[in-house]
Amino acid sequence: MPRSASAVAFRASIPVMFGYLILGLGYGLYMHNLDFAWWYPPLMAATIYGGSVEFVIATMLTQHFNPLTVLMITFVVGFRQFFYSISMLNRYEGHGLAHFFQIYTLSDETFAVNYTVHVPTGVDRQRVYTLISLFDYCYWIIGALSGSLLGTAFALKIAGLEFVMTALFIVLCLDQFKRESSHLSTVSGLIITILCLLVVGKTYFLLATLVLLVIEFAIVNHQKERR
């Protein structure tokens, strides 16, 4: 008998839960250390839901605020999502609000989980996608709220928690690497990233990397179709 969609989604989201709760906790403490009220972190987590963008904007809010600068930084940092979201077009087939929620909550980690999750026969795949997105979204908000409340109560300051998200994504990538039948995308992605970083520099290497990867995958897919 197949498990329920909620059970499948929760189990798949557990790695993200630990990462989001811990990093969200650090984000809440970080916001507290910048003298923001306790309700700022959960509000920004719920509305921006942009991970590293939220850390950047938190710092910018303490300085002379320039909306255009914020817009450009958000666009550059979040532009990578445009590329990997293309691969979800044939997977996200929900309807109504569920479909828009899937799109809105497509973070790096949610993409990694939804792209690789195994859905048993008889379980609604779209419901699993939506619930994983919902669980991850709630983990981030709860983590941010917990950090802000903890910081308010005990005036805590813990540095270095930003690396938790990097560690989490490395674990997810390794898991996907073990599942792959061909490691072409992983190896080429690593090589192209290093070359772009050396040639273009750290400011624009991410954008250059994504563009080259899209070109590569387009060529590979075209060759597969010809065969």
| pLDDT, tens digit (0-9, with 9 covering 90-100), for 176-226 | 778 777 787 788 888 988 998 899 887 677 668 877 877 887 787 778 777
| Distance of alpha carbon 111 from alpha carbon 92, whole angstroms | 11
| pLDDT, tens digit (0-9, with 9 covering 90-100), for 114-156 | 999 999 988 999 999 999 999 999 999 999 999 999 988 887 7
Could you tell me if 107 and 169 are in contact, meaning their C-beta atoms sit under 8 angstroms apart? no
| Distance of alpha carbon 117 from alpha carbon 181, whole angstroms | 16
pLDDT at 213: 78
DSSP state of 129: H
Helices 125-154 & 40-47, crossing angle to 10 degrees?
160
Find the DSSP H helices in the chain. Answer: 5-33, 40-47, 52-60, 67-78, 80-86, 97-104, 108-116, 125-154, 163-179, 184-199, 205-226
**Distant-in-sequence contacts of 81-85, Cβ < 8 A, 24+ apart:** 81/106, 81/107, 81/108, 81/111, 83/210, 83/213, 83/214, 84/108, 84/111, 85/111
Q: What end-to-end distance do the CA atoms of the chain give, in Å? A: 39
Task: Please check the confidence at residue 1 and state whether its pLDDT lies above 60.
Answer: no
Put simply, whether the predicted model's pTM sits higher than 0.85 gets the answer no
DSSP state of 63: S
